Structure 1
């Protein structure tokens, strides 16, 4: 069970971010996610590769600082 499918809640906890951030990353940054019915599911190996390649990197400081 080393690489089971994770839910949005699970992957948010794994990465230490909110569920809203996960949904934003799916739609805006191409986070690897698989839609199964109404649910999003994730594989940690795919997420790890995506993070290492810079997928989760903050591309603009405006996301952190009000403008």
Structure 2
């Protein structure tokens, strides 16, 4: 599951955020993501690593 790619909608659901908030965070570079054909995509493993960093702050 660590190589799974998620959409913005799936990330918002996973992090319990609105899609607008998730979009803002990734646009500001605060959430790890990348664009494919103009749409944001996220690696599950990157999100878990990001969560671990946020917990240690």
User: What range is the shorter-chain TM-score in?
Assistant: 0.7 to 0.9
Between the two proteins, the alignment pairs up a number of residues equal to: 55
Distance 1:29 1:54, change over 3 A: farther
User: Which residue of structure 2 aligns with residue 43 of structure 1?
Assistant: 43
Higher relative contact order by CA 8 Å / sep ≥ 6: 1 or 2? 2
* TM-score, normalised via structure 1 length: 0.70
Rg comparison, structure with higher value: 1
Higher strand share: 2
* Runs of 4+ that moved beyond 6 A: none
Higher helix share: 2
Q: C-alpha displacement at 1:30, in angstroms? A: 2.5
* TM-score, normalised via structure 2 length: 0.80
